[in-house]
Copies of this chain bind each other. A is one copy, B any other.
Amino acid sequence: MDSIVVTVRTGSQPSVTDLTREAAAFAKDKGDGLLHVFVPHATAGIAIIETGAGSDDDLLTALDDVLPAQEGKWVHRHGSRGHGRDHVMPAFVAPYATLPVLNGQILLGTWQSICLVDPNGDNPTRQVRFSFLAG
C-alpha cells in the first residue's frame, strides 16, 4: 500500500481546506483502486463537499448550530473555548474518506472536493495521510 503524509496549514480559525489537488497528485500514477484519506487528529474530519461557492463557510455555520461551542455544555473542557465540541465533531464528520480511482484519476463529481474540516484554531497545521489500495 502506497501511503504518504502531507502537512496542511489550517491557521488559527475554524477552517475548511480543499485537499483535492494534493490528493489528485498522489493518485495520478496509481492505476485503479481505492484512495483513502485520513486525518490522525481527534478534532478534525474529512468532508466531500463543494468549495468556492459558500458551502465551506456554510459547513462551519452548521457545525456551530449542531454542536454549539458554548461553555459548560461539554464534559471535555481543557483547551480553548469550543474544544469540547471539537472533540465530538469527528463522530459526525469522520476523519477518513474513501474514493474510487480509475487510471490514476479520482472519480469525484464535478462539484465535489476533498476537504479537511478543522474547527480547532489551536492547531495551525495538520497532518493528512493519503493511502492507495490497488484493486
Interface residues in chain A, defined as those with a beta carbon under 8 Å from any beta carbon in chain B: 1-3, 32-34, 36, 38-42, 45, 47-50, 53-55, 57-59, 61-62, 65-67, 73-78, 84-85, 87-88, 90-100, 102, 107-112, 117, 129, 131-135
Contact = CB atoms under 8 A, between A and B. Distances in A.
Nearest to A31: B1
The binding surface of chain A is classed by DSSP as: mixed
Q: How many copies does the complex hold?
A: 3
26 contacts: A1-B34, A2-B135, A3-B32, A36-B98, A36-B100, A38-B99, A38-B107, A39-B109, A40-B108, A41-B109, A42-B49, A42-B110, A42-B111, A48-B91, A48-B95, A49-B87, A55-B84, A57-B75, A58-B75, A58-B88, A62-B66, A62-B67, A66-B92, A100-B129, A107-B129, A133-B133
